[in-house]
Amino acid sequence: MTNAEIAAALDELGVLYELDGAVKYRVLAYSTAAKAIRESPVSVADLAAAGRATEVPGVGKTLAEKIDALIETGEIPAAVKLKAKYPPSLIEVTRVQGLGAKTARRLFEELGVATLDDLRKAAEEQRIRDLKGLGEKVEENVLAGLERLGEPGEGTGRVLLSMARPIAEELARTLREHPAADRVEVAGSVRRWADTCKDIDLIATAEEPRALAEHLLASPLIAAAGKPGPNGVRAQTQNGVSVDLRIVAPEAFGNLLQHFTGSAAHNVQLREEAVARGLSVSEHGITEVESGEVTLCPTEEAVYERLGYAYIEPELREGRGELKAAREGKLPDLVSLDDVRGDLHSHTTLSDGRNTLEEMAEAGRDRGYAYMAITDHSASHGFGDHVTAERLCERVAEVEVWNEGKRGFRLLAGSEVNIGLDGALDYPDDLLDALDWVVASIHTSFAISEKEMTARVLTAIENPYVDCIGHLTGRLLGRREPYGIDVEAVVEAAARTGTMLEINGNPNRRDLSEHHARLAVEAGATIVLNTDAHGVETLNNMAYAVATARRAWLTAKDVANTKSWREFKQALKR
Ligand code: DGT
Ligand code: CA
Ligand code: ZN
């Protein structure tokens, strides 16, 4: 049984419990465990067989027993029982965006909605609005959600870069350690740091290609594979990611790496421009059409040079004007991870973080940052201890105490303040004024019109105490579309008022997107690269924020947190 199958069964059970009215944390336990299992690089069925399923994060004894039953009998007894109560088609209904299990159950009990078809009919016939507490808006959302069911992101098999990248690097390491390996590189969308990836592309040269292809299959990360041959092999990882290993002759390694790094759009444009110059480009080399003379390039630099371009960083290879810029020597000097001197969005145990203020601060300092802001959620955020104004005042004092006697690193007292439906913030102005740094974000009431959402965010931008807007569009890659918002109006206002815009480096978000980030900088707005870390490990997500910035053509000058704190402070609007 694959990790994906086990995860799907637990997800389903979670939904069934939710339909049955279970408390939220119980439901959450199932979806959290399912996610960990789906993303586990090792086979959870193997772990379970060895009695070690509880090693998977979020899997306790109860869950481990359910997994054992599932593997043994193909079913979880609790799920069988609940399926007798609720038709399986109702589970699909709960998955419609903007609905949820609670409403699905009411629709089932009060309107007899048991299938997606029933749901569409009920919405079209305007029967949902008659139920207490549900209105026309819900009907609209249901119809929109039904439209979106077939859209990319769900069921398209693309995975987050944060899932693909560590596997790609581990597999490359495995291949490099084999004596037959010569060069091994990760290519494709993983190398370009795209948001999501269809598969992992690996490129290698080797003395004995078949032996190297076979060695890939020895990795514990690989679950299944085709037949390894002299040109490579295709395989599948334990967590369902496809891997494509291609092995070639070393003389043309640059041509091959360039070709398989892509993107397809970049390559198509590159080839068209080459044809106009009498050159034919392929993964096997560059041919001068008239003479038939072939140039083999051992490096990518040589490929671009032969074609008359400056070297183009993989993150820029999307066919968005990079070839013209490379020809004219106008490529941007891209911001890099080393340029980043601070992180301005992080959470602690005061709200929903896993680590204390001290632990987060130490971790930030250990990374070599010059400053870091603690920005716990604000009073209206719906879980854990609410951070009251009083508590936040104390927090400011705690940060001050922590900073005492420290040199070369400054902890900043901040907040990630919810933007209310009317654009107002949670705290009084004098408290916001006492903070070093205020990020304002939308966390509630997504389902308003684009016009309302834009006005709401513009109100926050006009607020003199708001330094930065967090994760502007609220998108969750593959799970939640960005909400409707007029990004052009927002970036214009941000530039005009000096309000910074965050690129959130949580790999599920990467929000601003690369498109919006480029738009923002072109409009004159300033960007901040943040992790939104909820624990010390996720401070590592800065790499994804940097990657989005690079894919948006940003230089260090466009990014505020490449400055020292003294200069940064001067760039603030207040
Ligand atoms: P994805 O969808 O996340 O896997 O994105 P890529 O870019 O990794 O795409 P993939 O794996 O289909 O192919 C890897 C590279 O191979 C791609 O970036 C460029 C090259 N390639 C693939 N198909 C074509 C094509 O039809 N024309 C050209 N010129 N290059 C291609
Ligand atoms: Ca690929
Ligand atoms: Zn947030």
Same fold, 253-327 and 337-571: no
Ligand 1 site, residue 268, Cβ cutoff 6 A: yes
Q: Which pair of structure tokens corresponds to residue 238?
A: 């334990």
pLDDT at residue 379 in the model: 83
From the list 422, 423, 403, the residue with the least C-alpha distance to 413 is: 403
Q: Determine the pLDDT at residue 383.
A: 54
Instruction: Compute the radius of gyration of the chain from its Cα atoms.
Output: 26
pLDDT reported for residue 150: 57
Q: Is the CB of 197 under 6 A from ligand 1?
A: yes
- Alpha-carbon span 244 to 213, nearest angstrom: 10
| Residue 144 binned pLDDT confidence (cut-offs 50, 70, 90) | confident
In this prediction, residue 153 carries a pLDDT of: 41
User: Can you give the pLDDT at residue 154?
Assistant: 41
Q: What is the mean pLDDT of residues 11-25?
A: 89
Mean pLDDT of 275-282: 96
Q: What is the bridge-based pairing of β-strands 294-295 and 196-197?
A: unpaired
26 burial type by CB count under 10 A (0-12 exposed, 13-18 middle, 19+ buried): exposed
- Band (pLDDT 50/70/90 cuts) for residue 151 is low
Helix (H) or strand (E) holding 173: helix 161-176
User: Between 131 and 436, whose confidence is greater?
Assistant: 436
Mutate to test the pocket of ligand 1, among 156, 162, 198 (most ligand atoms within 8 A of CB): 198
Retrieve residue 231's tokens: 């040109």
Instruction: Say what the pLDDT of residue 380 is.
Output: 80
Range of lowest pLDDT (392-396, 446-450, 502-506, 522-526)? 446-450
C-alpha 264 to ligand 1 mean position (Å) = 5
Mutate to test the pocket of ligand 1, among 160, 255, 267 (most ligand atoms within 8 A of CB): 267
CATH topology (fold) of 337-571: TIM Barrel (3.20.20)
For residue 558, give every residue at least 6 positions away whose Cβ sits within 8 Å of its Cβ, in sequence order, or none.
Answer: 335, 521, 526, 527, 549
Per-domain boundaries in the chain:
3-149, 159-247, 253-327, 337-571
Q: Per-residue pLDDT averaged across 128-143, rounded?
A: 87
pLDDT of residue 42: 85
Average pLDDT over residues 132-138: 85
Mean pLDDT along residues 538-547? 98
Residue nearest to atom 1 of ligand 1 (CA): 198
Ligand 1 centroid–CA 191 distance in Å is 12
Whether 275 lines ligand 1, by a CB cut-off of 6 Å, is no
Mind listing the pLDDT tens digit for each residue in 195-207? 999 999 999 999 8
The answer to whether residue 219 scores a pLDDT higher than 50 is yes
Strand partners, 504: 511, 530
Q: At residue 169, does pLDDT exceed 60?
A: yes
Q: Which ligand is nearest to the CA of 157?
A: 1
- Are 454 and 482 contacting, i.e. CB atoms less than 8 angstroms apart? no
- Residue-wise pLDDT for 370-385, tens only, equals 999 999 999 887 655 5
The CA distance from 336 to 562, in Å, is: 9
Stated pTM of the model:
0.80
Question: For residue 201, which atom of ligand 1 is closest to its CA?
Answer: 11
**Does domain 253-327 fall into CATH 3.30.210.10?**
yes
DSSP-based helix, strand, coil % in the chain, nearest 5: 45, 15, 35
Per-residue H/E/C for 428-494:
CHHHHHHCCEEEEECCCCCCCCHHHHHHHHHHHHHCCCCCEECCCCCCECCCECCCCCCHHHHHHHH
The answer, yes or no, to whether any atom of ligand 1 lies below 6 A from the CB of 234, is: no
CA distances from 57 to 38, 78, 109, 392 (A): 11, 22, 36, 32
pLDDT reading at 89 higher than 90: no
Of residues 152 and 232, the one with the higher pLDDT is 232
If pLDDT is split at 50, 70 and 90, which confidence band does 152 have?
Answer: very low
Judged against a pLDDT cut of 50, whether residue 246 lies above it is answered with yes
Rounded CA separation 248/264 (Å): 20
Q: What is the pLDDT of residue 359?
A: 98
What's the longest Cα–Cα distance across the chain? 79
Minimal-distance CA residue to ligand 1 atom 8: 188
Chain-centroid distance of CA 72 in Å reads: 35
236 touches ligand 1 (CB under 6 Å): no
Flag the least confident range among 47-56, 327-336, 464-473.
Answer: 47-56
Ligand 1 close to Cβ of residue 314 (< 6 A):
no
Higher pLDDT, 277 or 23: 277
Secondary structure of 234-280 in the HEC alphabet?
EEEECCCCEEEEEEECHHHHHHHHHHHHCCHHHHHHHHHHHHHCCEE
Q: At what angle do helices 357-366 and 389-403 cross, to 10 degrees?
A: 40
Q: 280: phi > 0 → left, psi -120 to 50 → alpha, else beta; which?
A: beta
pLDDT of residue 148: 72
How many whole angstroms from 200 Cα to the centroid of ligand 1? 11
CATH superfamily of 3-149: DNA polymerase beta, N-terminal domain-like (1.10.150.110)
Which among 195, 255, 263 is the best mutation to test ligand 1's pocket, defined by most ligand atoms within 8 Å of the CB? 263
Question: 48-70: b or e for each residue (b if 16 or more CB lie within 10 Å)?
Answer: beeeebeebebbeeebbebbebb
Does ligand 1 lie within 6 Å of residue 262's CB atom?
yes
Fold of 159-247: Beta Polymerase; domain 2 (3.30.460)
> Across all residues in the chain, what is the average pLDDT?
93
